[in-house]
Amino acid sequence: MTFVESEFQISKDVQIRFDWTLDEIQNILKKPLIELLWESQQVHRIFNPRYKVQLASLLSVKTGGCEEDCAYCSQSMHNASDVTDQSDFDVLGVLAQAKAAKAAGADRFCMGWAWREIRDGKPFESMLEMVRGVREIGMEACVTGGMLTDLQAKRLADAGLTAYNHNLDTSPEYYEKIISTRTYQDRLETLYRVRAAGITVCCGGIIGMGETIKDRASLLKVLATMEPHPESVPINALVPIEGTPLQNLEMVDPLDLVRMVATARILMPTSRIRLSAGREELGKEAQILCLLAGADSIFYGDSLLTTSNPSVKADRDLLAAAGVIVNWDE
């Protein structure tokens, strides 16, 4: 039987569902790992038969001084981390970084602003110019900048923004243990606005913040019952940062990350599952298990927002060792 035929046979059985229950998701998360991996691989292979991995580069345009009190974040003014309010990148500086990221092989450029919400005025006009510029050089453009209004979302869509990143981070039940300056509902409303403006949604979370398996399942339930599913789902492992309330937490078990990725893949077969923060703490074997489990994107470049990421060289070696397909292979 040829590969294409077998692919067709399996794909007949996979339905995209939006009615996942908490019990179902918990049962998937807790399956024997070997079985979970087999199930997620089957789904992954149908929807991404060439194991294509998207490389996304990240730049913090506006760093530090954020009014929100997210317990994991180095950029909150409520936390005593080393990150201080730095001067922002200008449009030309950002576009130079985007061009360099493209030359290194990335095809998505993600820009971050440490804001509670987007404010109108010069910084927002610059954000729009950055989005237009990134699109002009032929990359997908993603912005993360906190809450926004309908009009701001429309203007970002008109500028050509591909995706808006706005994570739910954890379960609705655990949220208030992590953030007190906004509600889960605030977060959901922003996501509805992004969707209504026709921008694709990038929404995921963090594991390793002291949450239970049920919390992880509950976060995945919120994501997997959105219709349509978020096009992009970043799965972060907490990077415990000195000066934040979560500084003393231990790095999550890498196999928990593999489970989270595999479950997200099963629940949301066509979404991009991004293996995000925390990769520096993982060996190459654990990262390859995540790719096998269904991750089809990584952040690529020597830094994330305020923390470091594996080097470009290390990632090129990793991708080659895994034998997956990336932009420059096509």
* Residues contributing to the site for ligand SF4 (CB under 6 A): 66, 68, 70, 73, 75-76, 114, 116, 146
Give me the catalytic one of 17, 45, 50, 66. 66
Give me the catalytic one of 108, 110, 265, 272. 110
Least distance to ligand DTB, CB of residue 73, Å: 7
**Contact string 50-89 vs ligand SAM (x = CB under 6 A):** ----------------------xx----------------
The entry of ligand SAM, ligand SF4, ligand DTB, none near residue 223 (CB within 5 to 8 angstroms by kind) is: none
Tokens of 42: 């089957």
Q: Compute the distance between CA of residue 76 and CA of residue 166 in angstroms, rounded to an integer.
A: 16
The entry of ligand DTB, ligand SAM, ligand SF4, none near residue 238 (CB within 5 to 8 angstroms by kind) is: ligand SAM
Q: Does residue 219 touch ligand SAM according to CB under 6 A?
A: no
Contact 186, 148 (CB under 8 A): no
Least distance to ligand SF4, CB of residue 184, Å: 14
- Residues of this chain that interact with ligand DTB (CB under 6 A) are 58, 74, 110, 112, 144, 165, 167, 204, 234, 236, 239, 276-277, 304-307
Give me the catalytic one of 17, 45, 50, 70. 70
The entry of ligand SAM, ligand SF4, ligand DTB, none near residue 131 (CB within 5 to 8 angstroms by kind) is: none
Q: Compute the distance between CA of residue 12 and CA of residue 17 in angstroms, rounded to an integer.
A: 14
Contact 178, 71 (CB under 8 A): yes
Tokens of 36: 């979970």
- Whether residue 73 lies in the annotated active site: yes
| Own/partner long-range contacts of 324-330 (Cβ < 8 Å, ≥24 apart) | 324/51, 324/52, 324/53, 324/291, 325/50, 325/51, 325/52, 325/53, 326/52, 326/53, 326/54, 326/55, 326/105, 327/54, 327/55, 327/105, 327/106, 327/107, 328/105
Give me the catalytic one of 182, 187, 195, 202. 202
Contact 305, 61 (CB under 8 A): no
| Omega of the bond leading into 230 within 30 degrees of 0 (cis) | no
The residue among 31 and 229 lying less far from ligand DTB, judged by its C-beta, is: 229
Least distance to ligand SF4, CB of residue 202, Å: 14
Tokens of 330: 């096509």
Q: Does residue 156 touch ligand SAM according to CB under 6 A?
A: no
Hey, how many other C-beta atoms are within 10 angstroms of the C-beta on 200? 17
Task: Please choose, out of 23-31, 132-140, 165-173, 294-302, the segment that lies near ligand SAM by the rule CB under 6 A.
Answer: 165-173
**Which are the catalytic amino acids?**
66, 70, 73, 110, 142, 202, 274
